[in-house]
Amino acid sequence: MSGVPWGETKLVQGNEAVALGALAAGIDFFAGYPITPSTEVAEILAREMPLIGKKWIQMEDEIASISAIIGGSLAGGRSMTATSGPGFSLMQEGLGYACMTEVPLVLVNVMRGGPSTGLPTQVAQGDVMQARWGTHGDHPAIVLAPSDVSECFSLTIEAFNLAEEFRTPVILMPDEVIGHMREKLTFPAEGEICVEPPSSPDVPLEWYEHYHTSATGVSPMAHFGSGYRFHVTGLTHDTHGFPTRKVDEVISKMNRLKHKITRRLDVLENNMIHGVEESDVVIFCYGSVYRSALAAQKILARQRKKVGIFRPVTIWPFPDRTVKELLDSKNVIIVPELNQGQMIHEVERLTSDSVRVVPLQRYDGYEITPEQLVAAVLEVM
Amino acid sequence: MPARLPYSYKYLRSKKKFPHVWCPGCGIGIVMGSIIRAIDSLGWELDDILMVSGIGCTSRMPVYVDFNTLHTTHGRALAFGTGAKMANPKLKVLAVMGDGDSMAIGGNHIIHAARRNMDITAIIVNNNNYGMTGGQFSPTTPQGAKTATTPYGMIEPDFDVCKLTEAAGANFVARGDVYHVIELDGIIKKALSGSGFRVVETLSPCPTNFGRANKQGDAVNMMELLRDETINIAQASKLPKEKTQGKTVRGIFVDRDGMGYTERYQKLCDRVSPGVKK
Amino acid sequence: MSERPAKGQTVEEHCKTEDKKAPAVHIFPEWCKGCGICVAFCPKQVLEMGKDQKAHVVHPERCIECALCARRCPEFAVYVSGDGIKESKNKDGGEK
């Protein structure tokens, strides 16, 4: 197979769907380092990208990989890398640099057992908090968690679009089960997908401000070699990109980074909600656990038991308002996670004491089963 | 200021940024001038140039020059530069780094950039310490030298930047210093003209930290040391070994014609899919 | 510049002679940090450090326009007119 099989239906692996999604989105540059369970993304793109004259390179480590894709993005290429836990940890400084310098990129993190080397070939969801706060300092984060192979394809395209629109890195974070599972995927027709073109400024050269504030909080970004010459630095900087320590300029930059996300939550929020309104018990889950939840919901329905499912697709920024609105009146919220409790703290934060938040945590490298979820629901009913 | 300004000012981003951040007597400004003269004599378009740096005193250079400039994270200039060059091969990528930035934290990246023969010119300003953070030792601090983290004298052996990058596969390797500035101009001009990975190690004084800790006197004294304790490779070849003992050799050590990475990758694309528009 | 032509010299000749004495080397005191490098290594001792910790052009008539001072100044504070550095080939640029 070569290229995206537009309009066809195929049996596709999750990681493969990510790679094809990147090709569909018009990826120009991939720099990565092999690490289980993400390696297929790099390998498939290694085969596909030279065929169409796009640039692919295996760097010497993950730090080099994230650095290279930032350089590539600034030079005008849509750029992506793929990794897992230990590599994601190494990339944190670079990720912070991209947040500070407002460089669009896509970082795929296929979650595996941690901490440290952990369980390289087995599933976990232990990077949720790291994806939000892994790098130092206050910074924005956009993180998407696919739950099936089809979303691996579509959310990768979405990640590229959001990265351009918000001028920030976007993390696509399947867990190992989603990355390695195979499912039927019907690819859209080529014209059907929406790919946001890279922005480019249209002001005279002397007027260009690399960090100009517009109504959306960001401004079109010029690229190296385009005729706009500008300075990029990780030091806190003014609207031209030059380092500053002036109080008002520092505050302005910090607020710009924050507000471009917090003032447009409606654009970023994306949840899947099934039967939440009519149930007193809700399962709050994400990633591969959603698949077990769907199965559990069916099993319980056959027993005439109602349970709702709330699944954030965009896990950061967290859907605060909707969670509060829809879930603060529930009796019980079960939060199944493949970790020792990370997203559960967000749910607890947003619900009052009258709501019982019940953890269901599995961290032995295996999936939470529908049967485990059914038992948990029955116990609270 | 007189009405007619030096041509070099055309390459400076703004007079408002000057006087620059480096200490009196620091050689980094001399290197910056040398780079500008080389670029001017080559007639490069400013839009085509990308100056990328890491963190440290040397890495503060990009903000002062009117090119595309990228001030990155400690040690990673070459990785950022690799990405930029791959995504936009039209860019002429010039990395400026200090000895600590390129040889310690950046050590892995420089070996691989050299191995790949990535089309980047790396100017490494070597002042034998980590200047910006207060003068701690670096991989090029000579044995016995005093620094903020070697109060009893450096016990570790040091790197030879030129031998290391030569062994790793760089197309062009040279050493100069800021005293022998006309020679340096010529070396940098040659370093900028060509493909593959090209390294110029430039010895420079750090009077504020290294110089003071090792009682090397003021900037003038440190420049005299560069004058007296280095020797050009052509001169060295004419002298008996005893005369060159203990002196650091300056000059061009490697000037190969190996295929640069951009060309190599292009050949791959042509081989696997001929006739595709790149 | 001396005000009157010397005996037997035309006004024109007088101006040409004075022009030749105009200093080739200029120092911008706002940018000079007083490191002393230009003073120490000038082959003709044209420059001296002043009490203000800045370099000064004291013997401009000795200057041979080798421009080593300009090249060795880390501050871009020394300028030698017609210093042998060729006219800029670059089409870009302009003062900022």
Q: What is the pLDDT of residues B60-79, one digit of tens each?
A: 999 999 999 999 999 999 99
Does C22 have pLDDT greater than 80?
no
- Distance, in Å, from the CA atom of A274 to the CA atom of A277, rounded to the nearest integer, reads 8
Q: What is the pLDDT of residues A347-362, one digit of tens each?
A: 999 999 999 999 999 9
> Best residue in B18, B48, B80, B97 to probe A by mutation, most A CBs within 10 Å?
B80
**A233 contacts in chain B (CB < 8 Å):** 62-63, 70-71
Q: Quick check: pTM over 0.90?
A: yes
CATH number of C25's domain: 3.30.70.20
Burial of A264 per CB tally in 10 Å (0-12, 13-18, 19+): middle
Q: Domain of C68?
A: 18-80
Residue A222: name the closest of A237, A243, A207, A234 by CA. Answer: A207
Domain residue ranges of chain B, discontinuous segments joined by +:
18-272
Q: How far is CA A174 from CA A51, A116, B145, C22, in A?
A: 27, 18, 51, 74
Does C92 have pLDDT greater than 50?
no
Mean pLDDT along residues A321-326 = 96
**Helical (H) or strand (E) element with A267:** helix A265-268
- Distance, in Å, from the CA atom of C55 to the CA atom of C42, rounded to the nearest integer, reads 12
Q: Chain B closest CA to C69's CA: distance in Å?
A: 10
> Best residue in B4, B10, B42, B61 to probe C by mutation, most C CBs within 10 Å?
B10
Burial of A298 per CB tally in 10 Å (0-12, 13-18, 19+): exposed
DSSP E strands in C1-96: the ranges are: 25-27, 47-49, 55-57, 78-80
pLDDT band at C38 (very low <50, low <70, confident <90, very high): very high
Which member of B2, B20, B223 has the closest CB to residue C26?
Answer: B2
- Distance, in Å, from the CA atom of B204 to the CA atom of A80, rounded to the nearest integer, reads 39
Question: Which residues in chain B (212-241) have CB-CB distances under 8 A to chain C?
Answer: 218-220, 223-224
Residue B190: name the closest of B180, B199, B179 by CA. Answer: B199
Q: A117: Cβ–Cβ under 8 A, 6 or more apart, which residues?
A: A86
Contact between B125 and B204 under an 8 Å Cβ cutoff? The reply is: yes
Mean pLDDT along residues A186-213 = 91
Is A63 in CB contact (< 8 Å) with chain B? yes
Least confident of A140-149, A178-187, A207-216, C7-16: C7-16
Contact between B95 and B81 under an 8 Å Cβ cutoff? The reply is: yes
Does B273 have pLDDT greater than 80?
yes
Phi, psi at B271, each rounded to 5° = -70, -45
Q: Do B79 and A223 touch (CB under 8 A)?
A: no
Q: Do B82 and A64 touch (CB under 8 A)?
A: yes
- Distance, in Å, from the CA atom of B165 to the CA atom of B106, rounded to the nearest integer, reads 13
Does C7 have pLDDT greater than 80?
no
The pLDDT value recorded for residue B208 is 97
Query: Is there a domain that residue C6 lies in?
Result: no
Least confident of A295-299, B3-7, B155-159: B3-7
The pLDDT value recorded for residue C15 is 60
The pLDDT value recorded for residue C9 is 73
Tokens of C95: 């003062």
Is A230 in CB contact (< 8 Å) with chain B? yes
Contact between B58 and B125 under an 8 Å Cβ cutoff? The reply is: yes
Q: What is the pLDDT of residues B22-52, one digit of tens each?
A: 999 999 999 999 999 999 999 999 999 999 9
Which member of A69, A79, A94 has the closest CB to residue B73?
Answer: A94
The pLDDT value recorded for residue B275 is 60
Which member of B66, B80, B88 has the closest CB to residue A68?
Answer: B80
Cβ-count burial B229-257 (b if 16+ within 10 Å, e if not): ebbeeeebeeeeeeeeeeebbbbbbbeee
The pLDDT value recorded for residue B197 is 98
Query: Is there a domain that residue C93 lies in?
Result: no
The domain tally of chain C equals 1
The pLDDT value recorded for residue C2 is 53
Write down the number of H helices and E strands in chain A: 14, 17
**How many residues does this entry show for chain B?**
278
Q: A210: Cβ–Cβ under 8 A, 6 or more apart, which residues?
A: A221, A222, A230, A231, A232, A239, A240, A241
- Distance, in Å, from the CA atom of B119 to the CA atom of B259, rounded to the nearest integer, reads 9
Does C86 have pLDDT greater than 50?
no
- Distance, in Å, from the CA atom of C18 to the CA atom of C16, rounded to the nearest integer, reads 5
Mean pLDDT along residues B141-166 = 97
Is B189 in CB contact (< 8 Å) with chain C? no
Does A308 have pLDDT greater than 90?
yes
The pLDDT value recorded for residue B15 is 72
Q: Alpha helix (H) ranges present in C5-91?
A: 11-21, 37-41, 68-72
Share of chain B above pLDDT 70, in %: 96
Contact between A271 and A316 under an 8 Å Cβ cutoff? The reply is: no
User: Can you spell out the DSSP letters for A211-263?
Assistant: T---TTS------TTSS---EEESS-B-TTS-B---HHHHHHHHHHHHHHHHT
**What 8-state DSSP symbol labels residue B102?**
I
Contact between A71 and B84 under an 8 Å Cβ cutoff? The reply is: yes
Q: What's chain A's average pLDDT?
A: 96
**What 8-state DSSP symbol labels residue A26?**
T
Q: Chain C closest CA to B78's CA: distance in Å?
A: 25
Report CA torsion sign: A135, A214, A71, A48.
Answer: positive
Query: Regarding beta strands A119-123 and A112-113, do their DSSP bridges make them parallel or antiparallel, or are they unpaired?
Result: antiparallel
Query: Is there a domain that residue C39 lies in?
Result: yes
Q: Chain B closest CA to A231's CA: distance in Å?
A: 5
Which member of B70, B84, B87 has the closest CB to residue A28?
Answer: B87
Q: Do C72 and B34 touch (CB under 8 A)?
A: no
Residue B265: name the closest of B199, B198, B196 by CA. Answer: B196
- Distance, in Å, from the CA atom of B25 to the CA atom of B27, rounded to the nearest integer, reads 6
**What 8-state DSSP symbol labels residue A190?**
G
Is B160 in CB contact (< 8 Å) with chain C? no
Question: Which residues in chain B (243-272) have CB-CB distances under 8 A to chain A?
Answer: 265, 268-269, 272
A156 alpha-carbon distance from chain centroid: 9
3-state secondary structure of A80: strand
The pLDDT value recorded for residue B5 is 53
Question: Which residues in chain B (62-91) have CB-CB distances under 8 A to chain A?
Answer: 62-63, 66-73, 76, 79-88, 90-91
Q: Give the residues across from B11 on adjacent strands.
A: none
Q: Say which amino acid occupies B28.
A: I
3-state secondary structure of A136: coil
The pLDDT value recorded for residue B21 is 95
Q: How far is CA B32 from CA A214, B53, B89, C71, C72, in A?
A: 36, 13, 24, 10, 11
**Could you say which architecture CATH assigns to the domain B18-272?**
3-Layer(aba) Sandwich (3.40)
Mean pLDDT along residues C36-56 = 96
Does A234 have pLDDT greater than 70?
yes
Least confident of A160-174, A327-341, C12-26: C12-26
Q: What is the pLDDT of residues A47-100, one digit of tens each?
A: 999 999 999 999 999 999 999 999 999 999 999 999 999 999 999 999 999 999
Taking the CA atoms of residue A226, residue A229, residue A234 and residue A236 in that order, the dihedral angle to the nearest 10 degrees is -130
Q: How far is CA A47 from CA A38, A64, A149, B268, in A?
A: 15, 21, 20, 11
Q: Please name the chains neighbouring B, where neighbouring means 3+ C-beta pairs under 8 angstroms.
A: A, C
Least confident of A30-39, A131-140, B12-21, B42-51: B12-21
The pLDDT value recorded for residue B278 is 47
The pLDDT value recorded for residue C65 is 87
- Distance, in Å, from the CA atom of A219 to the CA atom of A201, rounded to the nearest integer, reads 8
Residue A135: name the closest of A168, A165, A174, A175 by CA. Answer: A168
Contact between A80 and A145 under an 8 Å Cβ cutoff? The reply is: no
Q: Give the residues across from B173 on adjacent strands.
A: B199, B254
Q: What is the pLDDT of residues A40-60, one digit of tens each?
A: 999 999 999 999 999 999 999
Burial of A138 per CB tally in 10 Å (0-12, 13-18, 19+): exposed
Q: C61: Cβ–Cβ under 8 A, 6 or more apart, which residues?
A: C21
Q: Chain B closest CA to A44's CA: distance in Å?
A: 15
Domains in chain A, CATH or no CATH each: 9-192 (3.40.50.970), 272-380 (3.40.50.920)
